[in-house]
Amino acid sequence: MPVQLYARDVGAGTPLVLLHAFPLSSAMWLKQREDLAGRFRVVTPDLRGFGGSRLGTDEPSVDLMADDVALLFRRLGLSRAVIGGLSMGGYVAMALCRRHPDLVLGLVLADTKAAADTDAVRLARLRQAETLERDDQVTVLLDEVLPNLVGPTTLQQRALVYGRVRGLVQATPAPAAAWALRAMAARDASFQTLRGLKVPVLVLVGSEDGVTTEDDARAMADVMPNAELMVIPRAGHLCAVEQPDLFNQAVSEFAAALARAAQ
């Protein structure tokens, strides 16, 4: 059953709904809200269990996370929006395209992939979920997930950015992280959904992303009828946080073009 999501909602114009990465919250979109709200209505929800959103008691499911977002659309009076998803947010965005395609004006997929988890990745997620449930603290995320969230350039040259990301990971509720890990582990591939898309898509990937690579990004772009791929230099898995100016410029140009076409 869908839950009511907490969301930050700023600006006016064509709606831009941004879905956050694991294991962060909508706080990761600070620079996007600051820079893009002058041109767009920027809506950044906390996915269930993260930030200000409650977890609920449902079985873990990325599809259910997409239904939560659809419920948010109805609550905010949004008919269609440009949907952007980074990492886990990308999985939710693709599920939204499959389950609620009428809501999607355009799609931004950043540092994410359409393939299902390999056996090794799925087992690692389930082991991490069990550890979180047992310990009720996020040490396993700090030890195993955090090191892969940013690229070498950020680690070496952007101490404030890395510190902020670490703080967001530390603030993650362990039950929400465990639930989300199980949801991601259970998800199916989304290539069929992407092949059937009738809206323009912008695929972004950090050049230093070792979690979802440029090959993963290209595999998505190649199956879609109307997709553009852009590699963001000197960024790892959180390109929107590590290189916000480049990310925001690309998304702004993409969303503005969609807004003009929709008039």
Cβ–Cβ < 8 Å for 17, 45: yes
Global pTM value: 0.98
190-226 burial: b if 16+ Cβ within 10 Å, else e: bbebbeebebbbbbbbbbbbebbbeebbebbbebbee
Q: How far are the Cα atoms of 56, 124, 134, 161, 252 from residue 106, in angstroms, in the given order?
A: 29, 33, 40, 29, 12
Digitized pLDDT (tens) for each residue of the chain, 263 residues in all:
889 999 999 999 999 999 999 999 999 999 999 999 999 999 999 999 999 999 999 999 999 999 999 999 999 999 999 999 999 999 999 999 999 999 999 999 999 999 999 999 999 999 999 999 999 999 999 999 999 999 999 999 999 999 999 999 999 999 999 999 999 999 999 999 999 999 999 999 999 999 999 999 999 999 999 999 999 999 999 999 999 999 999 999 999 999 888 77
d(CA 145, CA 227): 29
Structural domains for the chain: 7-262 (3.40.50.1820)
